[in-house]
Each structure stands twice: as C-alpha cells, then as structure tokens.
Structure 1
Amino acid sequence: MSEVMYLSDVPEENKFYVQNGNILRNLEDLAHELSSMHDDTFRHHVNDERNDFYAWVNHCIQDKYLANKIGARYYKGDMYKTVVRRVNGLKGLYHKPKLKQIHKKLTNIVSSGGSSLTSRKKATIKRKVTKVAPTIKRKTASVTKKSTKRKVAKKRPIKRKLVKKAVKTKPLKKNAVKREPVKRKTAKMKTARKK
C-alpha cells in the first residue's frame, strides 16, 4: 500500500467509534480527536489491558510504522505529537511535485539575478529556497536511520608535563610572633630530671 493512501478515509465498516460518540475515518481525524479528547476517554481506549488506537491504525489503516510508534505511547500528548508528525510527513510526500515546481521557480529567479528585485526580496526568496529544498530531498515520511561506520580515532601519544609540586606555606597572621620549633624531650633528658 502506498504511504499516501494512509491519509484517505477507511471503508464504512472500519470506522473507529470513540467513547464520546465521535467517529474517526482517517489519521487526520485521529490527530484532531486526540487534541481535544478528555483524559477519561483516552484512558478508556488506552490502558494496561489494551490500546484501541494501535489496533485501529494497525489493522484498518494498515500503517505499521505509525502503529508501532503509538503502541509504545501511553500518554495522550505523546501519542498526539506522534500522529501529527506522521500526518505532516505523509502530506509532505503527497505534495512533493508541487514543492519541486516551487523550488524550480525560486531557483530560476535567484540564478537569473533577479535584476528587477530589491536586495530585501532576493534575501526573502533565498530563505524560501533553503526551506523548500530539504522537504524535496526527503524520500519517505518515516524516519530512517542511516547505518554509518564510526571512524576510529587515531591514537596519539600523550604529552605530559612535569609539574614540580610547590611547597605550600601558610602566610603568617598580622602581629604574629615567629616561634622556634620545640625540642622534643629524649629519654636521656627525662632520666636526668628524675635525679
């Protein structure tokens, strides 16, 4: 199934009936409903025992990527963000030819120099070109991780500096008198006193 088909309405028998009486026909309806759904209604459909939205997306819409993403979400806000990202990604795929046409027109204007345009308008057009270009390069709406090999860092010898430890001396207090070191009494001195 083409990814663009995920945005279309499901057949009549596959509609999702929410506890509050609303009916979901497609992913955009799901995103809209999640944004305004009461927490109790959400907990009715998503709890420890079941995840009705996961089941509906997986079996009726057949979007396995989104189903796996929302299957791990148990908070309404997280699920809403995930569904909105997916819908926006699918819309980006759907309108891809239109984006290519816009990009082509904008690059023609910039490359021709646009002599009749002011410098402010040229800067605005260049910004638009840079915004449109990344969306054209995207191949799928799903996020794919590239497998890249990590470069091993070259081992360099560590240069260690020899640091001489400075002897720390405590500064003398003001008006302090220097004292001479006290001589320790030896055993001979002790015996001499006793006599």
Structure 2
Amino acid sequence: MSLQQLTPDKFFYSNDGKVFTSIEELYRGLKEMSEETFLYHVNKEKNDFYNWIKFVVNYDSFAKSIQKVKTRSGFLRKAKEFVSA
C-alpha cells in the first residue's frame, strides 16, 4: 500500500533519533528498534504511534487496530498486515 507523502512537520521523530515519514518506514524501523525505544513511545501512560497514525497520518482503521497493542511484536504484526494490504 502506497501512503500519502507527509511534510517534515508531520514526520514521527523517535527518541532514538530516527525519523519516520510513513507507516511503511515505521514498520521497517520497528524491526530494528530497541525495546527501550519502543517502550518509551508505547507504555501505560501513552501510545505515541497510535496518536501519530490516528491524528497525523489519519488512518483511523489502522489506528484502531493498534490502539491496545502494547508489544513491539504485536505492533510489527499489525503493521505488516497494513502495509501488505
């Protein structure tokens, strides 16, 4: 699935310095992302990936599918389903 082009003000800036410009890039980045970085962005207080996908990228159905996912492997599975569709 080819997704919209985002402008730099809409990119996802990870706390480890990586920048994601699309869900496809986020999916590839999640494969290499440390557990520490993942847990910085997804924990019981927040879900930065959900917020970015829902409110910035505006993919409501995908956002809803990952809203309660709290593990990197779970995110990878859902993201793979999305980018392979």
Pairwise CA distance, 1:9: 2.5
Pairwise CA distance, 1:8: 2.6
Paired residues in the alignment total 85
Matches within 5 A, 1:30-49: 30-49=26-45
Identity fraction in percent:
26
Asked whether 1:60 is paired with 2:60, we answer: no
SS of the equivalent of 1:59 reads: helix
Query: What is the CA RMSD across the aligned residues, in angstroms?
Result: 1.2
* C-alpha separation in 2, matches of 1:84 and 1:10: 20
* C-alpha separation in 1, matches of 2:80 and 2:23: 9
Unaligned 5+ runs, structure 2: none
Higher CA-based Rg: 1
Pairwise CA distance, 1:72: 1.1
> Which structure's relative contact order is higher, taking Cα pairs within 8 Å and 6+ residues apart?
2
Unaligned 5+ runs, structure 1: 90-195
Q: Which runs of 4+ in 1 moved over 6 A?
A: none
Q: TM-score, normalised by structure 1?
A: 0.42
Deviation string 1:83-139 (CA, Å, 9 cap, x unpaired) is 1111110xxxxxxxxxxxxxxxxxxxxxxxxxxxxxxxxxxxxxxxxxxxxxxxxxx
Give, as a single letter, the amino acid of the residue that structure 2 aligns with 1:47. N
Deviation string 1:39-83 (CA, Å, 9 cap, x unpaired) is 000000000000000000001110001101111100100111101
